[in-house]
Structure 1
């Protein structure tokens, strides 16, 4: 009985989202759709495994979808890849596809730009028909914020959820972010640049609620962070701090302080140097502390360079072993050599290698010549 009820609820949800009849979920595959996709060299087995329900639908618009993609300049291989990755594309009626193409071309400089977006984010282009009004309104909203067409296109591609909901929801969160920025001491002159950078780096910040953001900053304020320090956290790491919950942060801060045996002011400074510390769970931090300490690294070293905690245990172990092969003992001195990006680490290794292989030169030694 419960299974039947669950199936019925799922059917109704699919019908609401896609306009399909629930009975089609139990029908045999649409042989015409399967044949059309096979002719395009689409891997039907993968679709059956991951999104088999698509192959049961009728009507489908394989020919029309392919024709539209070809008019944009997409080649057969790319079309095959898109339909394999996002077979729901064949369920979009031609009229809706044309409307989507016109909408995206109002932002893209050329067909080739749009093709690149479809290749990377097919689900963002092949959306539900009833989202298009929200898309139009949100495009206008973001442009009125001063974002150029290229950035708006990037936002709609990478975070389509922001464009499928009402513009009022996005407007509410943007206003909350601006208010928080100013309340923490941000400069109104710089606010526009800050907001543009934030939305470009982390468009998902708009999916959070103003209440959740206020709870987060209220918690951190109670932990002793000043307004200027909270502004630093809001402005760093794509403002991910707006996405955190007080309960999880409390556990992380408590564990970090106990492990490092540091004072409250010291803990706050560590967080300001490494804001990502707030994000990691206790389990993740436990593994990373254990990895560092088992390698002979001391707690004072970690406190001096806390951003080393952003590295996975695998990366830390690899880098320590590589430095050891160059004769460097990571247990002494700073952890900066194992810190940073892959490029930073390779540059550090290069300097160590050069130092090890460079012959010793004595400026007062006599020059040896052949007799």
Structure 2
């Protein structure tokens, strides 16, 4: 691990020197913090327009950028073209994240080198910028980015997960290292409180399963852990298993939403004759049900019950609730046409893939004939 981190740092320091004349400006430098009532920089607007930038989009997203007198749109364009980006791609990046034109060429070179220690090619980085310019340009602190990458690598986070974090939750790398360390310490403490003997693996698993964990507050995560353990009456081993599997993602929910959804599910199952054990089993089987609004959950359950499915069957196979209400209804209609008996044959067919579902229908149809 130490060798990996040393190699990473060495490769960043090997970044080649940049030519002094790599800075391009839309006009002469003046004050960077002009008041918002100032008019737009006309020469900048003309320059961006000639590059194909969607000015209306830029105004909606970050209007203050168009009032700046010191920008680097031409330098940015040259830099991205040197990495393989097409003019249309560059225009789209600026349209969706105008602040990108405020980054200097030395800053861009340094940041690109940091990213290339995670990604395999320039083309891959260009592809990510095309989809999500914010992930690359949001933060201007390269030192903080480097420190966060080194910290996450020290936890044993794989390059694949670093890749996913940078593209899916880039705010992780805008956090101070200390803030991210606080989250790691909390997760290790949760593992210890639940009797776990491998806090490193516990922490790494949760990060891998919940990429947004670092952009949530430690108070939210801690409160949600306690709420789930208490409401479901989980043993330590059950809680460890839940949080290291699909349960890691429900730690994302706001505390009030989680509390409300838990209570809604408990009431609905209670009205169907299900007790505390059914309630607990359903969440242990498929915690994603807690992301569902009470209205949508009730509609799906009612639809299944009207078709002859028992509540206990849904508790044991709750993934059926992951399908849209329209898909559930369509499948029920087609199965009903073939005289399918859910009490006799179960409901596994309902949460199968489209290909398997159609194959099952074909077999049932041939039997009918």
Please say whether Structure 1 and Structure 2 have the same fold, judged by a TM-score greater than 0.5.
yes
Q: Which residue of structure 2 lines up, in the alignment, with residue 174 of structure 1?
A: 184
**Does 2:220 align with 1:220?**
no
DSSP-derived class of the 1:203 partner: coil
Q: 2:155 aligns with which of 142, 145, 167?
A: 145
Which sits farther off after the overlay, 205-214 or 71-80? 205-214
Shift of 1:239: 0.2
Indicate conservation of the 8 Å contact 1:337/1:348, yes or no: yes
Cα distance between partner residues in 1 of 2:339 and 2:62: 52
In our comparison, the structure showing a higher alpha carbon Rg is 1
Please tell me whether the aligned partners of residues 119 and 125 of structure 2 are also in contact (alpha carbons under 8 angstroms).
yes
Q: Normalising to structure 2: TM-score of the pair?
A: 0.79
Q: Measured at CA, do residues 276 and 85 of structure 1 come closer, stay the same or move farther in structure 2, by a change above 3 Å?
A: same
Tell me the residue number matched to 2:303: 291
Quote the residue 1:124 is aligned against: 135
CA contact (8 A) 2:261 2:294 kept: no
Question: How far apart are residue 355 of structure 1 and its match?
Answer: 4.4
Q: For 1:238-265, what per-residue CA distance to the aligned partner results, in whole angstroms no more than 9, with x for missing partners?
A: 6023234263254234323323321112
Per the alignment, residue 318 of structure 1 pairs with 330
| Alpha-carbon distance in structure 2 between the residues aligned to 1:359 and 1:34 | 70
Q: Where does residue 201 of structure 1 map in the other structure?
A: 209
Alpha-carbon offset, residue 67 of structure 1: 0.7
Counterpart pick for 1:78 among 60, 70, 89: 89
Distance 1:118 1:50 in 2: 17
Change (3 A) 1:315 1:50: farther
SS in 1 for 2:266: helix
Kept in 1, the 8 Å contact 2:265–2:294? The answer is: no
| Alpha-carbon spacing, 1:292–1:34, altered in 2? closer, same or farther (3 Å) | farther
Q: Which consecutive residues of structure 2, in runs of 5 or more, have no partner in the other structure?
A: 1-30
Q: Counterparts of 1:56-67 in structure 2 under 5 Å?
A: 56-67=67-78
Q: Tell me the residue number matched to 2:20.
A: none
Corresponding residue to 1:33 among 36, 44, 52 = 44
Note closer, same or farther for the CA distance 1:39–1:57 as it changes in structure 2 (3 Å cut).
same
Native 8 Å contact 1:172 1:210 kept in 2: yes
Q: Secondary structure at the match of 2:251?
A: helix
| Structure 1 residue 182, shift from structure 2 partner | 4.1
- Tell me the distance in 2 between the aligned counterparts of 1:282 and 1:186: 34
Which whole-Å deviations, capped at 9, do the CAs of 1:107-145 have from their partners, x for residues lacking one?
A: 33322232222222211211343x323212111101111
Q: Distance in 1 between matches of 2:92 and 2:202?
A: 37
Whole-angstrom CA distance in 2 between matches of 1:214 and 1:32? 52
Look up the SS of the partner of 1:215 in the other structure: helix
Higher relative contact order (CA 8 A, sep 6+): 2
Farther-moved stretch of structure 1 (235-244 vs 158-167): 235-244
State the partner residue of 2:347.
335
The answer for the alignment partner of 2:239 in structure 1 is 230
Q: Which residue of 2 aligns with 1:210?
A: 218
- Shift of the 148–218 alpha-carbon distance from structure 1 to 2, 3 Å rule, reads closer
Q: Does 1:110 align with 2:98?
A: no
1:152-167 equivalences in 2 (<5 Å): 152-167=162-177
Change (3 A) 1:331 1:20: farther
Q: Aligned-residue CA RMSD in angstroms? A: 2.9
Contact conserved, 1:198 with 1:238, CA < 8 A, in 2? no
TM superposition shift of 1:273: 1.2
SS of the aligned residue for 1:60 comes to: coil
CA distance in 1, matches of 2:214, 2:53: 36
TM-score, normalization: structure 1?
0.78
Partner of 1:44: 55
Gaps of 5+ in 1: 1-18, 361-371
Which stretch has the larger CA shift, 304-313 or 245-254? Answer: 245-254
